[in-house]
Structures are given as structure tokens and as C-alpha cells.
Chains A and B, each alone.
Chain A
Amino acid sequence: MEIYLDNSATTRCYESAAKLMYELMTEHYGNTSSMHQRGVEAERYRREAAKRIARSMKVEEKEICFTSGGTESDNLALLGCARANRRAGKHLITTSFEHAAILNTMKELEEEGFRVTYLPVDERGIVRLSDLEEALCDDTILVSVMYVNNEIGSVQPIQEIGELLKKQNHKILFHVDAVQAYGKFRIYPKKLGIDLMSVSSHKIHGPKGVGFLYVDSGVKIQPILFGGGQQRDLRSGTENVPGVAAMAEAVKEIYTGFEEKTERLYSLREYFIQEIKQIEGTVVNGPQGREGAPHIVSVSFAGVRSEVLLHALEDKGIYVSAGSACSSNHPAPSRTLQAIGVKKELLESTLRFSFCEFTTKEELDYTLAALRELLPVLRRFTRR
């Protein structure tokens, strides 16, 4: 039995998306820049994909820039906008618990002479509007806030931030890292006041190595990759047509029957949270109701190291992650968990369970049973 509860790290590709990708790689393999039939055909696939993705957000096809994934989208948004607008100002704002793709890009911009304000988050894992308002300066050019936190699933007040920024006297660009949110919420950038938005394909059952950046047509941005001038000079490099088409297929799938799927995910999550709280010595971190994302549950298990519990669960075919998968290259106590006030002794005893539309109640019951069985055993053997 395999139970995959690490969907915030990555997801299984939809079969239809994988099939389409295979087809495009072996049959319709043209280069969109070629002038012959194969090229025209590839270009058609690319445009279809862009259209479908644009429609899912009610934006224009030309506002979609395909990238190699979430990290590149974040890099392009921040580096591209900061550099293109440096004459307007040198101040940037983000939060302290963003993904490394944002935080490390901000560090790079600091090297280039920009000032960056890192907003704190409250005990619910949410940015305070008042903090943002206070941080705004006359030379603020860009604000970047993630939609859903990848470790605890807290949802940020995107619409309120968008409105606040539009009220300012000068133009401030608003970038949203929606890697954990797109496909879990319906997101309409124009209604929310979002100028740029990063999305990754492999978090929505699409292939890895592809993603996109939504760029509002009014945004001044410059490229970070240089070459053949594809995608209106914004992102050079032969377009990954199979990846892009498969991503669009995944977008179609994930937003099909969306309301029921979301409802189902929320009730599964509520059930899981309710049951896990019955187990002795567990603490659920972050939002527990519908104010949070439907697919992420962060739980601390007193007296057990997360790595050990993770491997013990793995032994039973259950895959979860400790903290967030992206940070396992540089293990350190999670800043998000610290920010929301998780007790020190629980920081290294925290697991993240993340669901997807294929997750079933049976799987959760099996997982809960495994936890009930393993925890007492593992707690017997701890460092004293």
C-alpha cells in the first residue's frame, strides 16, 4: 500500500497530461520558431495552452510567460521588475516566511543596491495589513507576498493587500507566489489587484520543469535570460511545448469539478485534524478551518523527532514530509513554525501532511492508525 501525503512537495502527474506530453515529444515535436508545418503545429499547441491557462485566471493569453517552474517565475518577477523600475525607486517589501526562491532573490537584489523590508507574520501565520502599510515608502516599487504558506497552509489577505497598494499615490507592483494556491483556489489576478503571479506545474499534477509567470500587460519588466528572444523577448529559450501543453491539460483537469473537489478536500482535512487531535501529545499548527488552504496540515508530535517518525511512516508506505521539502537541502528549524510561535521542543517534531484530489478517507484512516501504533513505540525510545 502506498499513501502519498506529500502533495505540497510534488504531485503525481495526471495520466492525460503525461500522455499528451509523450505524444508531443514523439509526434508533434516541432520548434515553435520553425517556419514549416511542424513549427506551426507546435505554435498552435503552445497558443492553445496559453489560452487555456489564461482563461483559468480570466486574463489575456499574452500575459502568460512560460518558465521552467516556480523558482524561475519568482526570479523573473523580482529581478525583472526591480531592475526595470529601479529609477522609480529602490525599496521592496516581502514577508519573512516566503519560499527560498523569493528570499534568496531578494538577497541578490540587496546586493544590487535595493532595500528590502521583511514583514513579520502573526501567530496565525498571516501578514498584518498595518505592518505593510507602515512599511510602504515613497520609493517602494514592488511588494511580494505568497498566497498560501507551504508549511502550514495559512492564506494571506491577497485581495486586501491588492486594494491597499492600488490606493497609494504611486504605482507599486504586486507579485504573488501562488505555487501552493493555484489549483486549490480560483484566482483572478485582475480582481485581486495582482500584477505578477508565479505558478508551478508539478504542484497541480502537471510535469516537472515547467511553470508560468502571469505578467499584467501594464507591467514594466525586463528579461533575466537572454537568447533568441522567444516569448516577446521576455524569456528566451526554445519553448517547452510538451511541458506547456501538459501543464495546460493539468490546469483543465484540476479545475474540472473544482467546487466539489475543494469541498471534499476541506472535509477530509477537517476529519484528519479532528482525529489527529485525539492522539496524545499532538498539536496542529496553523489554520484548522476553512480560512486555511484545503490541502495542508502541519502537526507537531511531542517527544518524537520528525525524521524518525517520517521514516517509520515510510516503512508503512506512507510518505509525508518534515517541515517543507524544499528546505531539506539546508536543514534548520523552520522559520515559519518559529514565527507562529511553535514551542522550541516541538520545532523538530513537526510533520507536514499534504493532500490532493486522489487522497481518500481510507488512506487517512490507515495513516491515523499507523500514527496511533507508532507514536507510543517511538516515544519509548528517545534521547534522555
Chain B
Amino acid sequence: MFHAFLIKYGEIGIKGKNRYLFEDALVAQIRHALKQVEGEFRVTKEQGRIYAEARGDYDYDEAVEALRRVFGIVGICPVVILEDQGFDSLAKSVVSYLKERYGEDCGKTFKVHAKRARKTYPMASMEMNAELGGRILDAFPQMKVDVHEPELMLHIEVREKIYLYSDVIPGLGGMPIGTNGKSMLLLSGGIDSPVAGYMVAKRGVKIDAVYFHAPPYTSERAKQKVVDLAEKVSRFTGPIYLYVVNFTDIQLYIYEKCPHDELTIIMRRYMMRIAERIAEKTGCLGLITGESIGQVASQTVPSLAATNEVCTMPVFRPLIAFDKEDIVTIAKQIDTYETSIQPFEDCCTIFVAKHPVTKPNIHVIKRSELKLAEKIDEMVDKAIETAELIVAG
């Protein structure tokens, strides 16, 4: 029934002179999303709107699904495109469209909103509104006009051809990927970090990711789980470059040298350091974590402060004030939850002390880290050099 989609976008519209950059990014993201869909599409930007027009047959449901995963889209309007064969023919088409879309006995209140991009069309917009409204009332005795709050807004756009649409399928909102630089996500196998990545990406940030792998303490399956999660997130963000860092030696070294109740904090400080170094190399401008205040011992405010202290890059923590349930809700929406709850240990849990510090003193921690001085720099360098790159999505 529908031949094209009119894409509505929100925040982009207000970005002043940079607007075209945002629109171009959105067009690129839409093209990328539709590439996965059965069918061929032409995506064009014209006069402040974006159209995705199907060339021939395509899978409608798949196309809508794909568009609903593109950040920056506020609404998706499925459009019927008609050849201009005179007003009478248009009116008939409008009636049969409404019948097909809403049923013969449709009783909605409505408004017709005609607009002419092609000003040579023989009727004025107001005239079209009135005339089409009359024809609709004739065909649907139960429909009523309501110009203030119509249940059904019928848009008619006269261009080379005539575009007809009345539905708006809500999109994700946010901003198109690639309009806000790139950041490095610390991706574990848990519920939080994929959600954090998703949320920051939604603001237009391209995502790279780093995962800390500790064989034989963590299994190949734990790593596969993280790759699977990155793939799930990439359905929204486009391909994710995932750096898998072998963290075993560093972890064991910390374990041998430092007090056990400080293990997790020191370990996380090294994770941040390594993530930041890789981020610098790949052109990221920030780090992203799934931390949330008070969730575990390493995420109390003093612990977060101690972890944060090693980085100079900004660390984005979109979940910082979220309750677990709210995080789970989003994880379910983006379909990462089922994967996240698979029971494989990650390197944060294997050596965790029975009673880790919850109020680390930064000076104490720094003093403990001095005990690592002999080998740690070399180990960090090696971990970064030997990181494995996996492209997810």
C-alpha cells in the first residue's frame, strides 16, 4: 500500500547553520539502516524533509522496524504516492485510501491538510482542504471534521506527484550517530553497560567498545556474550569496534601485590587507564560506563571518585542516577537483557573480596598502587598492544 516514508526529525531542526550536517548524518544513518531491509530505497533530502522511497517491492514491516532503530527520527510517516490525474481522481484515491487504512465504517474526527510545493496546481490549498473534506464526509457518514484536535490528520502534498499520508509511527528521537564525535564504552557482560552505550549513542555519539577478558578465569563464552551484546547495540549504532583486552596478568599481579579489599577499585582504575589509552588511539573523546551510584561496592560515590581520578577524558555515566529496574526496562526494550543475564563470570566478579572497601581513601589506594611499580607499566603496554579487535555488527 505504501510507497515511501516521510521522516520527521525534531531537535535537528533547531541546530541553526549546522543543520545540514545533522540532516546529512541522518540521511546516512537511514541509508545504512535500510540496507539491511529486503528491497531497494532512495533516500533524499529536500526542502527540510527526508524521504525514503522504495523502488519496487519491499518488506514494509522490516523497513519500519529498521527506521525505528535510527536515532534522530521523531516520526515515520508511511506515504502513498499518486500520479497527478486531476482532482477528481485524487479525491477518489483519498477515499479508497481511507477505506483501506481505517475501514468502511471509520468514525474518526479528521482534518485535511493540503500543501502545494508545486504552485502551478490549479487549486489552492484551502480549496483542496474544503473540497476533499466534503468528499470524505460523503463517503464516511460517521466521520466528523475537527480542525483543532483531529484524531486523523490527512496530509496531502502536491509535488511532481502527490503524496498522501495520515499516520505517524513514533521514532526513537535523539540525534543521528556521527554528529557528536566518538566515545569508548567499557562493555562488560552485564545489564548496565550496553544500556549506557545505547543512551550515549542516542545523543549522536559514535561508539567504540573495550572488553576486559581474563582467561582462564573467564570463558570463551563470556567473551562471545560480550560480542553478542555489542552486536545487539550495533543494531542502533552501526558497526562497533570492540577491543578485547587480555587482563589476566594485570589482575593476578594486583591480586598478589595489593590488599584484597582494594582489588576491585585498583582493578577498575587500571581498566579506566587502559580504556583511555585505547580511546586516545582510536580518536575517542570520552569514556562511557554503566555505573550507577551505590549499585555495588565499586560504585559508591567515594569509589567512583577514586576510579574517576585516573582519567583526564570526560567519563559519561548516563545511568548514574537510575534504579536497577529502570535500567532493566531499557535493556529489555533494546533486547540486550536476555543476553546479559546469561550466567558467565566476567573479570569483575572472579576475584572480588568478601568485604571490598566501599569508602576507599584515594591516598591509600595510590600507596597500594606503588607496590605495582616494578612491572605494571610494561603489563599495561602489553595489554594494549595485544588487544584483539572484533568488529561487531
Contacts from A to B (Cβ < 8 Å): 307-312, 314-315, 331, 380-381, 383-384
B260, A384: Cβ atoms under 8 Å? yes
Looking across the interface, which residue of chain A has its beta carbon closest to that of B345? Answer: A307
A383, B352: Cβ atoms under 8 Å? yes
Main secondary structure of the interface of A (DSSP, over half): helix
Please give, as numbers and ranges, the residues of chain A lying within 8 Å of B343 by CB-CB distance: 331
Of B81-89, B190-198, B215-223, the one with at least 4 CB within 8 A of chain A: B215-223
Of all A-B residue pairs in the complex, the 5 with the closest CB atoms, nearest first, are A311-B216, A312-B216, A308-B217, A384-B260, A311-B219
Using A383-B350, A383-B352 as known contacts, list a sample of 19 further A-B pairs with CB atoms less than 8 Å apart, ordered by residue number in A.
Answer: A307-B219, A307-B345, A308-B217, A308-B350, A311-B218, A311-B220, A312-B216, A315-B216, A331-B343, A380-B256, A381-B252, A381-B256, A381-B351, A383-B351, A383-B353, A383-B354, A384-B260, A384-B353, A384-B354
Please give, as numbers and ranges, the residues of chain B lying within 8 Å of A312 by CB-CB distance: 216
Please give, as numbers and ranges, the residues of chain A lying within 8 Å of B345 by CB-CB distance: 307
Looking across the interface, which residue of chain A has its beta carbon closest to that of B353? Answer: A384
Q: How far is the CB of B390 from chain A (nearest CB, A)?
A: 19
Mark each residue of chain B from 225 to 257: 1 if its CB lies under 8 Å from any CB of chain A, else 0. 000000000000000000000000000100110
B255, A381: Cβ atoms under 8 Å? yes
Looking across the interface, which residue of chain B has its beta carbon closest to that of A378? Answer: B216
Please give, as numbers and ranges, the residues of chain A lying within 8 Å of B220 by CB-CB distance: 311
Main secondary structure of the interface of B (DSSP, over half): loop
The residue that A315 contacts in the complex, of B215, B218, B255, with Cβ under 8 A, is B215
Q: How far is the CB of A56 from chain B (nearest CB, A)?
A: 37
CA distance A311 to B214 in the complex (A): 11
Contacts from B to A (Cβ < 8 Å): 215-220, 252, 255-256, 260, 343, 345, 350-354
Q: How far is the CB of B388 from chain A (nearest CB, A)?
A: 16
Please give, as numbers and ranges, the residues of chain A lying within 8 Å of B219 by CB-CB distance: 307, 311
Q: How far is the CB of B357 from chain A (nearest CB, A)?
A: 14
CA distance A381 to B354 in the complex (A): 14
Please give, as numbers and ranges, the residues of chain B lying within 8 Å of A308 by CB-CB distance: 216-217, 350
Please give, as numbers and ranges, the residues of chain B lying within 8 Å of A381 by CB-CB distance: 252, 255-256, 351
CA distance A331 to B260 in the complex (A): 28
CA distance A314 to B218 in the complex (A): 12
- Asked whether A314 and B260 contact (CB < 8 A) given A381-B252, A381-B351, the answer is no
Please give, as numbers and ranges, the residues of chain A lying within 8 Å of B260 by CB-CB distance: 384
Most buried by A among B219, B256, B353: B219
Please give, as numbers and ranges, the residues of chain A lying within 8 Å of B350 by CB-CB distance: 308, 383
Q: How far is the CB of B368 from chain A (nearest CB, A)?
A: 16
B352, A311: Cβ atoms under 8 Å? no
CA distance A329 to B231 in the complex (A): 22
Most buried by A among B217, B260, B345, B351: B217
Looking across the interface, which residue of chain A has its beta carbon closest to that of B351? Answer: A383
CA distance A345 to B52 in the complex (A): 61
CA distance A307 to B219 in the complex (A): 8
Please give, as numbers and ranges, the residues of chain B lying within 8 Å of A314 by CB-CB distance: 216
CA distance A331 to B343 in the complex (A): 8
Most buried by A among B215, B220, B352: B215
Looking across the interface, which residue of chain B has its beta carbon closest to that of A311? Answer: B216
CA distance A190 to B260 in the complex (A): 62
- Asked whether A311 and B215 contact (CB < 8 A) given A383-B351, A383-B354, A384-B354, the answer is yes
Looking across the interface, which residue of chain A has its beta carbon closest to that of B349? Answer: A383
Looking across the interface, which residue of chain A has its beta carbon closest to that of B248? Answer: A381
Q: How far is the CB of B290 from chain A (nearest CB, A)?
A: 23
Q: How far is the CB of B380 from chain A (nearest CB, A)?
A: 19
Q: How far is the CB of B296 from chain A (nearest CB, A)?
A: 15
CA distance A35 to B219 in the complex (A): 52
Q: Report 13 cross-chain contacts, Cβ distance below 8 Å, ordered by A residue.
A: A308-B216, A309-B216, A311-B215, A311-B219, A314-B216, A381-B255, A381-B256, A383-B351, A383-B352, A383-B353, A383-B354, A384-B260, A384-B354
CA distance A314 to B354 in the complex (A): 28
Q: How far is the CB of A304 from chain B (nearest CB, A)?
A: 11
Most buried by A among B216, B252, B353: B216
Please give, as numbers and ranges, the residues of chain B lying within 8 Å of A309 by CB-CB distance: 216
Q: How far is the CB of A333 from chain B (nearest CB, A)?
A: 13
CA distance A383 to B255 in the complex (A): 10
Q: How far is the CB of B80 from chain A (nearest CB, A)?
A: 46
Please give, as numbers and ranges, the residues of chain A lying within 8 Å of B217 by CB-CB distance: 308, 311
Please give, as numbers and ranges, the residues of chain B lying within 8 Å of A315 by CB-CB distance: 215-216
Q: How far is the CB of A377 from chain B (nearest CB, A)?
A: 9
Please give, as numbers and ranges, the residues of chain A lying within 8 Å of B215 by CB-CB distance: 311, 315
Looking across the interface, which residue of chain A has its beta carbon closest to that of B217? Answer: A308
CA distance A119 to B260 in the complex (A): 45
CA distance A311 to B248 in the complex (A): 13
CA distance A331 to B341 in the complex (A): 13
Looking across the interface, which residue of chain B has its beta carbon closest to that of A309? Answer: B216
CA distance A308 to B345 in the complex (A): 10
CA distance A312 to B217 in the complex (A): 8
Looking across the interface, which residue of chain A has its beta carbon closest to that of B219? Answer: A311
CA distance A381 to B218 in the complex (A): 14
CA distance A244 to B218 in the complex (A): 39
Please give, as numbers and ranges, the residues of chain A lying within 8 Å of B216 by CB-CB distance: 308-312, 314-315
CA distance A311 to B222 in the complex (A): 12
